[in-house]
Chain A
Amino acid sequence: MANHGRQETKTHAGVNVKRDIGIALWVSFLGASLGSLVIFGLLDPQAMTGAWTEKWDMGREWGYTLGFAFLWVVCIVTAALTLYLVRTGPDSVHAGVQVAGIKLPEQGVPGLKGGKVVGHEDS
């Protein structure tokens, strides 16, 4: 019954594109945060100012910000490409709505017993 409504609202091969974009942005944010932590733990952005930034003389804050933004963009591209390839491949198991291995949260998650969400019938 719940699936009925869902299939009609799916846009691209039955996939919720908005949610895919949301996931790509969010996961990339996490990845870029971790990457920034490691990179700027080891590198001083001020020490990276080379010939092309000489006139600019950006502070460390801008260095951190641009570094994070760069990592975020790279991660977004990676995550989006991953999702795109998974969703659009010739393998119908990956692309279709009735995915065998991948389940929507309300259908439960593999490996857990009876993952069914019950709404608030009482309210």
Chain B
Amino acid sequence: MKTANEGQQNTGLIQAEAKIYARRVSGKFQTLRNISLWILLGLFYLLPWLQMDGGQALLFDLPARRFYIFGITLFPQDFVYLALLLIIAGLSLFFFTALAGRLWCGFACPQTVWTLMFMKVERLIEGDRNKRQKLDKSPWNADKIIRKSTKQFVWIVIGLITGFTFVGFFTPIRELWGMVSTFSLGPWEAFWMIFYGFATYGNAGFMREQVCKYMCPYARFQSAMFDQDTLIISYDAKRGEPRGARRRTDDPAEKGLGSCINCTLCVQVCPTGIDIRNGLQYECIACAACIDVCDQVMDRMGYEPGLIKYTTEHAETQKATHVLRPRMIFYGVLLAALVAVWAYGLLTRTPMRAELMRDRNALYRELSDGIIENVYTLSVTNMDRSAHELSIKLTDFEGGEIDMDKDPSIAAETTRHFILRIRAPRSSGAGGRTIHLKITTKDKQDIELLLKARFFLPASGL
């Protein structure tokens, strides 16, 4: 009984399985998936081209260690925003998984989105399921060579455009385009473009559902976030069984049949090649293709739709489904709080930092006519995309004066060190006192930094 296929089944890196020829399907959920596809792909391919403040609106400049995100420039010191964003993303995944199951897998995961696009190309060139199966079985002839090579060519082009766009998030994409068009790419750009292009081509063209089945950790642990009120795609076995073929005019009750006509269309449209009628399986990415196709079959037979449908375990056992449940409230509140903290921090963030350090060599220096001098180093980091004129003042130090070694200006995205000599008459105190320094810019209202330092004077009686 052992087939050749079975013999080699488990020796490879990934399972050598029967190739899946997913049948084309349309319907409510596939329309939603297509909308999601175009929005997400549009964002990916077009966002790097968006300009803002004379630069790329979205750019992760790793060599310079600067992230430009829609007018905000993030420095390594702003790592907390990135960390918080990752936590928010993780928590959102938990929230939406608990609420609606594998929404991410079916509608938003890049693996799904690019696979869907590659499958569209394949269908356009090689035809739908039956034609593709026939083409694969047919001997190599002119038609097969033309179709297969056209498909490969288009896939490779999409892969390269994807690689180019990906690198365009890290290297200014307009410059990158210049380099590509003059064949003067640097080694890093060329490597990543080809690597990412190849990964796209391999994952979306060949690996497809195997990535979800064998490589994706989320696919394995997502069920831990499920409860009995989570949306799942399920076949109504009570209504469907016993399944069987029949004429449209037949009365199923008379023949002792359920609603399932055993047309196997639900299996044919499945991108992961499972039979949803066997129950919920971890291979199911919740793309809802089986729902759309089965509803059409039910419609043609004159039966009620929903033999396969989005439902919950509670609904299946005739119990009420609760959308608002402790788990959802907990995730929801936590998520809202984190998003609020993150957004507030980012929006009210001052694009300038400063640090005041005392000169370690001497506590103070006594000048002629009873003036006491303390020396400090002021380091200012300007995270703005524009240069600034600074104004540096003492806020609560009567008689105190600042003498700076250079003009108080700072170029865009730089750190500059100033030597500050703060002088005050001996009469202004004894021992030490705390002073406050206010840094503002002459052109931008919202930048205001307050620094604190110790100022030392001779002890009284000296």
State the A residues within 8 Å of B (CB).
Answer: 1-2, 4-6, 8-11, 16, 18-19, 21-22, 26-27, 30, 38, 41-42, 44, 59-61, 64, 105, 108-109, 111-120, 122-123
Over the window 1-36 of chain B, the binary record of Cβ atoms lying under 8 Å from chain A Cβ atoms (1 yes, 0 no) is 111001111111111001011000000000000000
Tally of contact residues, B, Cβ under 8 A? 44
Q: In the docked arrangement, what's the CA distance between A119 and B62, Å?
A: 46
Which residues of chain B are near A116, meaning CB under 8 Å? 278, 281
A123 near B280 (CB under 8 angstroms)?
no
Q: How far is the CB of B161 from chain A (nearest CB, A)?
A: 23
Offer 23 A-B interface pairs, CB within 8 angstroms, sorted by A.
Answer: A1-B1, A2-B6, A4-B1, A5-B9, A6-B6, A6-B9, A9-B7, A9-B8, A9-B9, A18-B11, A18-B13, A19-B12, A21-B13, A41-B76, A44-B65, A59-B63, A60-B62, A60-B65, A61-B63, A112-B279, A117-B274, A118-B278, A120-B21
Closest to A8 in B: B7
B223 near A112 (CB under 8 angstroms)?
yes
B133 lies within 8 A of chain A by Cβ: yes
Q: How far is the CB of A46 from chain B (nearest CB, A)?
A: 9
A22 near B282 (CB under 8 angstroms)?
no
B18 near A120 (CB under 8 angstroms)?
yes
A117 near B273 (CB under 8 angstroms)?
yes
Which residues of chain A are near B7, meaning CB under 8 Å? 5, 8-9
Closest to A21 in B: B13
- What DSSP secondary structure best describes chain B's contact surface? loop
B281 near A5 (CB under 8 angstroms)?
no
B133 near A117 (CB under 8 angstroms)?
no
B282 near A112 (CB under 8 angstroms)?
yes
Q: How far is the CB of B162 from chain A (nearest CB, A)?
A: 18
Q: In the docked arrangement, what's the CA distance between A35 and B274, Å?
A: 36
B213 lies within 8 A of chain A by Cβ: yes
A9 near B18 (CB under 8 angstroms)?
no
Q: In the docked arrangement, what's the CA distance between A120 and B433, Å?
A: 83
B10 near A10 (CB under 8 angstroms)?
yes
Q: In the docked arrangement, what's the CA distance between A96 and B351, Å?
A: 60
Point out the residue from A41, A59, A113, A114 that lies within 8 Å of B79, measured CB to CB. A41
B6 near A42 (CB under 8 angstroms)?
no
State the B residues within 8 Å of A (CB).
Answer: 1-3, 6-15, 18, 20-21, 62-63, 65, 76, 79, 82-83, 133, 188, 213-215, 217, 220, 223-224, 264, 267-268, 273-275, 278-283
Which residues of chain A are near B223, meaning CB under 8 Å? 109, 111-112
B214 near A105 (CB under 8 angstroms)?
yes
Q: In the docked arrangement, what's the CA distance between A123 and B82, Å?
A: 48
Q: How far is the CB of B27 from chain A (nearest CB, A)?
A: 20
Which residues of chain A are near B275, meaning CB under 8 Å? 118
Q: In the docked arrangement, what's the CA distance between A120 and B220, Å?
A: 23
Which of B10, B14, B20, B283 lies at the interface centre, i.e. has the most chain A CB atoms within 10 A of its CB? B10
A123 near B2 (CB under 8 angstroms)?
no
Closest to A115 in B: B281
Which residues of chain B are near A44, meaning CB under 8 Å? 65, 76
Which residues of chain B are near A11, meaning CB under 8 Å? 11
B267 near A22 (CB under 8 angstroms)?
no
Q: In the docked arrangement, what's the CA distance between A44 and B63, Å?
A: 10
Q: How far is the CB of A103 from chain B (nearest CB, A)?
A: 11
